[in-house]
A and B are shown apart, each in its own frame.
Chain A
Amino acid sequence: MAVAVAVLSLGAMGLQYRLVEARLMDAQRSLLSADLDGFAALYDQRRIIALRQAIDYRAAAATGDEMLLLMDRQGAVLAGTRGDWPAGLTAEGEGFAVNPARAFTEGGTRWLAVARELPGGFPLLVARSLQPVDDTLGAMRRGMLGMLAAMLVAGGLVGWLAARSVMVRIGRLNDLADRVAEGALDARLPGARTDDEFGLLETHVHSMLDRIETLNRATHRLSDTIAHELRTPLNRMLLKLSKIEDQEEVTAELKAEMRQAIRMFDSLLDISRAEADAGSGGGLVPVDLSAVAREVWDLYEPLAEDKGLDAQAVIDPDLRVLGDRNLIAQLLSNLLDNAIKYCASGDLLTLSLTRDGDRHLMRVADTGPGLPADMRGEVFERFVRADRDRGISGHGLGLALVRAIAARHGARLVLPEGQKGLTLEIQWPRLQQSD
């Protein structure tokens, strides 16, 4: 911007420079023309003699601004301000017209010269110094350069000031967005809104945040209400079931069905709650990930062994994350439960938890049937199950809950390609050790 303004000004100044230059040259040319007219009048009266006297007279009063020289046929000087004919200048024509005039340089000074050979072979040189013109133009150029530099500096300064105030206000909005992303849904910018586009933007952001906050609160309230309204009738059903006697098999099946329905329903609510809280650190506390992994592994390992799996765990100690112990346990429990469910006797099941740079890498791998190729992209969606697994109990929410819990913790979920069976990696953000 500053540069564009400077270039435009430079163009304008250049035009002015050209005009001044032309005007000054014209002035020198008309002075020269007046000189020549004077000499022409003298020449008309008494030819060379009058010219010689006039030049002598003028040379005596030399100001240095003019160059006069009259020579004879043999090249001897008859009169003049100098003793020789300037090199590189040839006489053209024989009249006293100002045109053609030539500019030439001698000793660092430019001259505007009219060189003639008067009838009878008398070379005449009448020249005016262009030094005053060059001095004026030089001063002008310096002035213009100075002006340009000043404009660039001023432009840059103004631009920087303007950009800085814009940056400060954008920075405020960015800070607000960061705080909201960290879970402070009630964060707002303090002070009054200004009466410009920024104020308008802030107002829009605020009304968006108000809406998100309301929706979030409604989501939380709704899940509690749903829980209450659904579980209360289920509770009455279960109590009535408990009063039925002599049909234990049927009642046990009904109870198991109810338990499955509640599990599914809890998983759905857990998923939406975890997704609503995803990315926000709110409610998370330092958790010993290694200890939780060890506990859940110890819970499931006998189950895997009983099913004939080769179960191995490698868990580095003291790896800590900011998390919710119960959710982490639920995530790992879902993964191990799935693996054990789908693997057959002889399969390998491994759990590893290792430190990997600024992340903790949790990996659950089995050599079971793995995922059908066409399902890789959608296994983490709710209620997605492979057709071949219809015979295995489950509601298709396990991996969706795993993904929601990982997202809640800011952990990355990866399905590495090309492994036999199913391998799932979770990269947990490491808790900065402060203790």
Chain B
Amino acid sequence: MDERILIVEDDIETAEAVRAVIEGMGCAADHCDTLETGIAAALGTPYKVIVLDRMLPGGDGVEAIARLRAGGSNALILVLSALGRAANRVEGLEKGADDYLPKPFEPDELRARLRALLRRGTMQVLDNDLLAFGDLEIRMKARTVHVRRAYVAVSPKEFELITYFARNAGQVVTRMQLLESVWNLHFDPGTNVVDVHVGRLRRKLEEAGSAAIQTARGEGYIFAPLAGAAG
């Protein structure tokens, strides 16, 4: 991946950390430290993703999303902000952000989010009815999961969970991402409720002979059915 990503962030240390994550993914990063220079840069270069702060010199990044869209930018927008309460996150998403990560953030979490966004543009092919990963098959219309041709009974939520994993196959998916994307909840429940659900799905798959879901170092899981089959 050699996508270009724009960072609009006034805190130098944070900007450097974001740059490190982006360059660690093999992408190129540009940095602006005010809202106006950020918008000018975003409208001048076709960025794939913009990492946008909120309380910037010049204004609120979220309020500028509409201007970016009106200016013709198709970049996916990840808001990275200290305004991290649930209400702030919902507001940001409602105003057009594609993802919203509150500060303080962990580099792993940012990496997972950026990967998910970068993949989003290339995922259309997965909207087929059948998602097949070696001997694990997901049928979207019938909402069924098969491992080695054997039917695995999953609850509706577990089906949404495995679909989300499948869309991000091979990437680390964090608990926060799952809670936001699968349950559409934007607050930290304190207890790791998500673990229980992933654990159940994982056991069902393992009983059927697939070790597709693995715990990733740190904050999440990784769906790697082919590696599982090979190992």
User: A residues engaging B (CB < 8 A)?
Assistant: 224, 227-228, 230-232, 234-239, 242, 255, 258-260, 262-263, 266, 269-270, 273, 295-296, 298-300, 302-303, 306, 324, 326-327, 329-330, 333, 337, 340-341, 393-394
Residue of A nearest to B179 (CB): A299
Q: Which chain A residues border B191 with CB–CB below 8 Å?
A: 303, 337, 340-341
B104: which of A262, A327, A330 is its contact (CB, 8 Å)? A262
Q: Are A231 and B82 in contact (CB under 8 A)?
A: yes
By DSSP majority rule, is chain B's interface helix, strand, loop, or mixed?
A: loop
| 9 closest A-B pairs by CB | A231-B82, A235-B104, A238-B104, A235-B103, A228-B82, A234-B104, A302-B196, A239-B17, A231-B103
Residue of B nearest to A259 (CB): B188
Q: Which chain B residues border A306 with CB–CB below 8 Å?
A: 196
Q: With the chains together, A224 CA to B83 CA distance in Å? A: 7
A255: which of B85, B87, B106, B186 is its contact (CB, 8 Å)? B106
Q: With the chains together, A238 CA to B87 CA distance in Å? A: 23
Q: Which chain A residues border B197 with CB–CB below 8 Å?
A: 299, 302
Q: Are B82 and A263 in contact (CB under 8 A)?
A: no
B90 adjacent to chain A (CB < 8 Å): yes
Q: Are B84 and A330 in contact (CB under 8 A)?
A: no
Q: Can you list 11 contacts pairing A with B, beta carbon distance less than 8 Å? A: A227-B88, A234-B103, A235-B13, A235-B82, A242-B106, A262-B84, A262-B188, A273-B87, A299-B183, A324-B87, A337-B191
Q: Are B87 and A235 in contact (CB under 8 A)?
A: no
Taking the closest CB of chain B, its distance from the CB of A395, in whole angstroms, is 9
Q: Are B84 and A258 in contact (CB under 8 A)?
A: no
Residue of B nearest to A266 (CB): B85
> Do A238 and B200 form a contact, CB below 8 Å, given A228-B83, A266-B85?
no
0 or 1 for each of B78-97: is its CB under 8 Å from A? (1 = yes): 00001111111010000000
Q: With the chains together, A303 CA to B199 CA distance in Å? A: 11
Interface residues of B in 70-122 (CB under 8 A from A): 82-88, 90, 102-108
Q: Which chain B residues border A235 with CB–CB below 8 Å?
A: 11, 13-14, 82, 103-105
Q: How large is the interface on B (under 10, 10 to 19, 20 to 34, 35 or more residues)?
A: 35 or more
Q: Are B11 and A326 in contact (CB under 8 A)?
A: no
> Do A266 and B86 form a contact, CB below 8 Å, given A242-B107, A300-B193, A302-B200?
yes
Q: Which chain B residues border A303 with CB–CB below 8 Å?
A: 191, 193, 196
Taking the closest CB of chain B, its distance from the CB of A366, in whole angstroms, is 16
Taking the closest CB of chain A, its distance from the CB of B158, in whole angstroms, is 10
Taking A302-B196, A341-B191 as known contacts, 11 extra A-B pairs with beta carbons closer than 8 A to each other, sorted by chain A number, are A227-B82, A232-B11, A234-B104, A235-B14, A235-B82, A259-B188, A260-B190, A262-B104, A266-B86, A326-B87, A330-B187
> Do A224 and B86 form a contact, CB below 8 Å, given A231-B102, A298-B157, A303-B191?
no
Residue of B nearest to A395 (CB): B190
Q: Are B85 and A337 in contact (CB under 8 A)?
A: no
Q: With the chains together, A367 CA to B157 CA distance in Å? A: 28
Q: Are B84 and A337 in contact (CB under 8 A)?
A: no
Q: Which chain A residues border B55 with CB–CB below 8 Å?
A: 224, 228
Interface residues of B in 148-193 (CB under 8 A from A): 155, 157, 183-191, 193
Q: Are B188 and A263 in contact (CB under 8 A)?
A: yes
Q: Are B86 and A270 in contact (CB under 8 A)?
A: yes
Q: Are A270 and B84 in contact (CB under 8 A)?
A: no
Q: With the chains together, A370 CA to B3 CA distance in Å? A: 56
